[in-house]
Amino acid sequence: MELVSTIPVRKTTHSKIGEVNWNELVFGKFTSDHMLVCDYADGNWGQPQIIPFANLSLSPLTLALHYGQTVFEGMKAFRMKDGGVNIFRLERHYHRFQKSLERMCMAVPPKELFTEGLIQLVKTDADWVPEKRAAALYLRPFVYASEPMMGVKVSEQYRFVICTGPVPELFARPVKVKVETHYVRASKGGTGFAKCGGNYGAAFLPLSLAKKEGYDQILWTDAKENRFIEESGTMNAMFVINNTLVTPPLSDSILEGITRDSILTLAKDMGYAIAERPISLDELEQSFMDKTITEAFGAGTAAVVAPIQLIHMGGIDYTLPAYTTDSLSSRIKLQLEKIRGGEEADTYGWNTII
């Protein structure tokens, strides 16, 4: 892959950067000027290229559109205190990308292609990395099956694309969640641990039904008994019960969140007790009865933490105490932001400064 270090760049002649209102960024509204594309065919990855952001041209028979071989990552680059740019936990995202692609029987871009591709692309569009702390350049690497063919088959051609776009800090207002005991997100032996497109499409109906009932998000339960908590929407679920940060253990039905990992690592080092163990609905109900539950939140790249204000289960709405800057989730979020922005030492080697 010696070609990667010199990825050719075709620069746009019509930068859109002047159209961005940096004081009122909207998540997902703008894409940066450039994207990276690289094709796989005949068992090999070809020459990656950085080109002006543009629509893709697809055959209607493109396999990904019919049989769902699509995998993505969601990650961020941050502006450091000293003006530098940091891609957060690059290595870990690659590792997960690889696992997702292998589960979907897809070609895996080599690590150097992923790493150098991201670095070169973010360098090319460095002016698009917002200045504000906790605002970010969202990075969206993805691979789809690009072979045009009518029949059901494993694609032999793939396209790897990376697009980016500036996003604001998401101040997640505390959400109301409904424990889902009919629909399931993922099952044992399934694809729940992979960031593949179908997982999200399958969650939209249950989510839209929950929204009609007045809830913002779904708290998923296990597919076998609907008895144990799995995830909170598209975030990992975390609770503070008896002053311990608890989260369900990883399995093939739980996505291995990198924010989850960062939060567990920081919580431990900040002196909090942590536990990765199954959390049953019975336990959760009991923790509300005896008031040992003090926090519940989703963990993910978009908002870091999304506090939960209310959990609906067994026909009852259970309310959580208000969140403050002293809450465990607020303190850890702040610490994470400081490490990302270079205000605290990166003792874990999480930052890739470009």
Residues that bind ligand PLP in the complex, under the rule CB under 6 A: 74, 195, 231, 234-236, 255, 257-260, 299-301
CB of 352 to ligand PLP, least distance (A): 15
For 111, the 3-state DSSP assignment is helix
CB of 299 to ligand PLP, least distance (A): 6
Task: Pick between residue 287 and residue 301 the one whose CB is nearest to ligand PLP.
Answer: 301
Q: Check residue 196 and report its DSSP letter.
A: B
CB of 279 to ligand PLP, least distance (A): 16
CB of 318 to ligand PLP, least distance (A): 23
| Continuous segment of H or E residues that includes residue 86 | strand 85-88
Could you tell me which residues are beta bridge partners of residue 58?
none
Task: Pick between residue 25 and residue 139 the one whose CB is nearest to ligand PLP.
Answer: 139
Which positions ≥6 away from 179 have C-beta within 8 Å?
Answer: 218, 219, 221, 229, 281, 311, 312, 313, 314
- Strands of 133-243 (E only): list them: 136-145, 158-167, 175-180, 217-221, 229-232, 235-241
CB of 113 to ligand PLP, least distance (A): 20
Residues 278, 151: Cα–Cα separation, whole Å: 41
Q: Read off the tokens for 343.
A: 């205000």
Task: Pick between residue 220 and residue 318 the one whose CB is nearest to ligand PLP.
Answer: 220
Could you tell me which residues are beta bridge partners of residue 49?
37
Task: Pick between residue 74 and residue 190 the one whose CB is nearest to ligand PLP.
Answer: 74
User: Can you give the length of the chain in residues?
Assistant: 354
Task: Pick between residue 148 and residue 190 the one whose CB is nearest to ligand PLP.
Answer: 190
Task: Pick between residue 34 and residue 195 the one whose CB is nearest to ligand PLP.
Answer: 195
CB of 50 to ligand PLP, least distance (A): 25
User: How many angstroms from the chain centroid is the CA of residue 4?
Assistant: 26
